[in-house]
Structure 1
Amino acid sequence: MSRFLLVVPPLTGHVNPAAGIAAELAARGHEVAWTGTESVLRPLLGPGAQVFGTGTRAFRAQGGHGLAALRSLWEGFIVPYARFTAKPLDAVVRELRPDALLVDQHTPAGALVAHRHGLPWASFAPGAMELGRPYRALPQVEAWMDGLLRGLWERARLPAAEYADPRFSPALVLATTGPALTGDLALPPQCAPVGPVPGPRPADPDFPWERLLPGRRRVLVTMGTLAGELGTDFHTRAARALELCGGEVQPVFAAPRALLPAELPAHAVAVDRAPVLELMARGALDAVLCHGGMNTVGEALSHGLPLVTAPIRHDQPFVAAQVAAAGAGLRVPFARVAPERLAQALRAVLDTPDHRRAAVRVGSELRAGGGAVAAADRLEALAEGRR
């Protein structure tokens, strides 16, 4: 059996799909360890996970839209996090001596450590942002990103002549997407689009299942873990839109109560966190209103649920556009959609059979990627090739 080290950022949307792959590897008898911010990883992975902490540090909150959001992500998180974790990561690799690493594209320090120690590694892409050169039409932006990555390479004291983009393993890039959601992106030849990888989630015994009213059509409203204060005004408009949809449509809000309006529809369910996968698996939902994050979109489509997306930043506009192009949902502007327009979009995905049929079709295409099983197959081959 092999020993795998997973290097992930302290972001729920990155940890959860990696956990699905880790669970499959562990079920096959492999040793799986994690490294990163333990205060974030431990609650998501549970007490039994083997976690090598790299320390805790506060980073600037991500903000803005478009290129401003990109700058905030890279200069406020990715680069500082890589610098902060570089030495602890090197120590973990020396201690654990893994056979292979799975490195999230937003933790380039993992790729640099793997290169230094001559270890096989795979890139992990839980989103579409770093696939297929999305900024190829903006050469100055690409040059700026390349400069940041080369700076990390130089800081790691790796030979300049050996430089390679640490976002892309030359051996394998595992992407939790599929052709239906990548559009015309030119994926790297070593990319394996395995589709959604729903990771194991802790049970939520406190979810008020008894409040799900029979005979209603239910809409899950979830804007991800990074919307923050930006979500307050949107949730207010969403609550009004769902009220306009009528009493037969029951909203389920998954958001901190502080981000929700004081007055919600009387039949609405509001929780800080919802057991999303369980709701979907039980057939308790009819549609999803979300930010267009790859995980939420992939999970919804895998269960044949149409979407209304209101993308905020990063790869969300691209993913939302692909959902709309596939006919599996509709896209609305996050910052300015009026409740009436949002209600119209929600009624359309609920009432139009074509949207649900497209969601079922796209979900089937995504599941054909093989998910955690296909990802584990690829990682096993990568580790065994070293021996």
Structure 2
Amino acid sequence: MPASTPPGASLRLLIVVPPLAGHLLPARTLALAWAARGHQVAWVGPESALRPVLGPDALVHPTGARLFREQAVGGAAAVRSLWDGFVVPHTRFTLGAVRRAVEQWRPDVVLVDQHSPAGALAAHGAGVRWATFAPSSLEIGDPLGGDGELTSWRDGVLHGLWERAGLPADEFTDPRFSPGLVIAPTCRELAGLDRVPAEYALVGPLLADRTELAFPWERLDPDRRRVLVSLGTLSAEVADDFLRRAAGALAELPDVQAVVAGPAVAGLPADAVAGERVPVLELLERGAVDAVLCHGGMNTVAESLVHGRPLVVAPIRHDQPVTAGRLAALGAAVHVDFATAGPEQLHAALRSVLDDPSFRTAAELLGRQLLAGGGAVAAVERLERFARAPH
């Protein structure tokens, strides 16, 4: 008889995720829900990146840390540089540590971020079942738009990782997609899928309480609408010029107050509230903002949509252009060019999502579709069934 884990027994989950906030935060939410069911969690990654997010009590199998090459901003060049400049070297750098963690901690299941293929390679080599975690829209559906040359190039990269890991060629499995379970914090509509494969669990956003941040709530004007501006942590090095252009647009919206998650750049209206760390989720939960101007990171997008807030999206790299295009097609956002959109275009885009109720209606619909996935509870229930199934 195939072995299976008895119902009620505690299960061990090893999470392999890149040291990027947009990947770590939803994985942390899933891990908290997993632990709340009486199971154990361990992580693999650089302590310097994981510890501030996970806290002092998390069990982290360290990989060490290293710098990676700067990545291109858009198009096919961005996809190539993501893999050549980060995913491939990160996989090679961490594979030994991930293999040791699998061998020493003996997990029942490994949860592998799509951009940390070392987890799939190590789990397959050890005969341990693994599930995919897909917090980015870049690998779901056909975001490359049928670009055969780019797809062929990436397939070669994936086979190269498999071969370099010393795994049998006739056992090749795309390390981005577990054949048994793919967990994605999205919905069918936002992912652009006509059909959802049986192994997919589209659970919607994985939201959890964040660290409490001091915020001057008293400075918010109750008689005006407010726009939240947030460009995420990954884009800090390229954000300043865009924020100055956004400031020019906001200065021409006297009936709107700006809340900026970032530096108070020159040109911002005097009543704008700016800070390097802003409680984005709490602002949305309190209904303190009416629209969001962002880079299109999935966490910010999902948080905005589940609170029914339309967006202006200026994507920078990776999956952000894909997400921006889908949001615009679904009527929940205006898509602008990060590099070239000037104050006038940003002003017009913000005025559209604030004044045209169809944007908010579309955002509310997408928010309901996302929430229907069940969130962290649905994710861990599906992961638990997968971990307990006979094999």
Q: TM-score range by the shorter chain?
A: over 0.9
Give the TM-score normalised by the residue count of structure 1: 0.95
Equivalent residue for 1:165, pick from 159, 174, 183 = 174
**1:239 pairs with 2:244:** no
Matched, 1:262 2:260: no
The answer for the alignment partner of 2:226 in structure 1 is: 218
Separation in 2 of the partners of 1:81 and 1:241? Answer: 39
What TM-score results when the alignment is normalised by the length of structure 2?
0.94
Report how far residue 342 of structure 1 moved: 0.9
Q: Does 1:283 align with 2:287?
A: yes
Tell me if the contact between 1:349 and 1:355 (Cα under 8 Å) persists in the aligned partners: yes
Deviations 1:319-359 (CA, angstroms, capped at 9, x unpaired) = 11221222212111211112112111111211222211221
Q: Residue 125 of structure 2 is aligned with which of 116, 124, 136?
A: 116
Residue 138 in structure 1 maps to residue 142 in structure 2:
no
Alignment match of 1:252 (pick from 259, 263, 281): 259
Query: What stretches of structure 1 of length at least 5 have no aligned partner?
Result: none
Contact 2:227–2:258, Cα closer than 8 Å, also in 1 = yes
Deviation at 1:214, TM superposition (A): 2.2
Q: Count matched residues.
A: 382
Does the alignment pair 1:377 with 2:385?
no
Aligned to 1:177, what secondary structure does the other structure show?
Answer: coil
2:367 maps to which residue?
A: 363
- The farther-off stretch of 209-218 and 159-168 is 209-218
1:367 maps to a residue whose letter is: L
Q: Is the 8 A contact 1:132 1:188 kept in 2?
A: no
- Tell me the amino acid that sits aligned with residue 220 of structure 2: L
TM-fit CA distance, 1:294: 1.4
- Match for residue 315 of structure 1? 319
Q: Which residue of 2 aligns with 1:339?
A: 343
The answer as to whether partners of 2:247 and 2:266 remain within 8 angstroms in 1 is: no
What secondary structure sits across from 1:52 in the alignment? strand
Which residue in 2 is equivalent to 1:177?
186
Deviations 1:359-380 (A, max 9, x none): 1111011100111111001110
Alignment match, 2:7? none
Task: Give the residue type in structure 2 aligned to 1:352.
Answer: D
Describe the SS at the equivalent of 1:4.
Answer: strand
* 1:252-286 deviation per Cα after TM superposition (whole angstroms, max 9, x unaligned): 1112x3xx523321001111121111111111111
Separation in 1 of the partners of 2:194 and 2:16?
A: 26
1:25 equivalent in structure 2 = 34
Q: Output the CA distance in 2 between the equivalents of 1:8 and 1:299.
A: 21
Q: Work out the CA distance in 2 between the residues paired with 1:355 and 1:142.
A: 34
Cα distance in 2 for residues equivalent to 1:318 and 1:368: 22
Alignment partner for residue 56 of structure 1, among 61, 65, 72?
65
Percent identity, please.
Answer: 56
User: For the residues of structure 2 that align with 1:137 and 1:63, how far apart are their CA atoms?
Assistant: 21
C-alpha distance 263-339 of structure 1, shift in aligned 2 (>3 A) = closer
Structure-1 residue corresponding to 2:357 = 353
Unmatched runs of 5 consecutive residues or more in structure 2: 1-9
In the alignment, residue 221 of structure 2 is paired with which amino acid?
L
Is residue 117–residue 176 contact of structure 2 (8 Å, CA) maintained in 1?
yes
Q: How does 1:61-210 map to 2 (within 5 A)?
A: 61-135=70-144, 137-184=146-193, 188-204=197-213, 206-210=214-218
Residue 230 of structure 1: how far off its partner (Å): 2.4
For residues 293 and 39 of structure 1, do their structure 2 counterparts lie closer, same or farther at Cα, with a shift above 3 Å needed? same
Superposition map of 1:32-43 within 5 A: 32-43=41-52
Match of residue 302, structure 1, among 291, 302, 306: 306
